[in-house]
């Protein structure tokens, strides 16, 4: 598995942002308001992945309390990191596209949606960073000479 490239994530973010902007322009009046808790699960996933990155990194450096990681556990963590970074880039781009559109509107609901979409987009960027850190921590350390 190759490491995730930042340029790929930026392209996904921008592409999803453009598609999100175009879709929101077409159907914003028909959409329900965004829930205020939308960024919370994204932040919780980012915190989980940061903790997992720390644990994986420590155990790959040497067994912690006599327990080492099975290679499949490391592979699963790497796949979670890959999926999270890709999904968060797409979702963050869509939220950013929504934010660009609702900033143009003057309605009260648009103001609330702007706050939620800005928070969600920031939470997605945090998740991308956590996922990249988790992916990096899944690499085996270089052997000592």
Ranges of the chain whose pLDDT falls below 70: 63-66, 141-145
Mean pLDDT of the chain: 89
Quote the pTM value.
0.89
User: Do 137 and 56 contact (CB within 8 A), yes or no?
Assistant: yes
DSSP 73-136: HHHHHHHHHHHHHHHHHHHHHHHHHHHHHHTT--SHHHHHHHHHHHHHHHHHHHHHHHHHHHHH
Query: What pLDDT shows up at residue 61?
Result: 78
Query: What pLDDT shows up at residue 128?
Result: 97
């Amino acid at each position: 598995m190759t490491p995730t490239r930042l340029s790929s994530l930026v392209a996904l973010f921008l592409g999803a942002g453009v598609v999100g902007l175009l879709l929101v322009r077409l159907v914003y009046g028909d959409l329900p308001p965004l829930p205020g808790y939308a960024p919370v699960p994204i932040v919780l996933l980012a915190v989980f992945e940061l903790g997992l990155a720390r644990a994986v990194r420590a155990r790959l450096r040497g067994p912690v309390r006599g327990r080492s990681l099975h290679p499949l556990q490391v592979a699963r963590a790497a796949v979670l990191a890959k999926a999270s970074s890709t999904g968060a880039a797409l979702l963050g781009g869509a939220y950013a596209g929504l934010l660009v559109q609702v900033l143009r509107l003057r309605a009260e609901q648009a103001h609330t949606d702007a706050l939620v979409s800005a928070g969600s987009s920031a939470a997605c960027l945090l998740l991308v960073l956590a996922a990249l850190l988790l992916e990096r921590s899944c690499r085996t350390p270089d052997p000592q000479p």
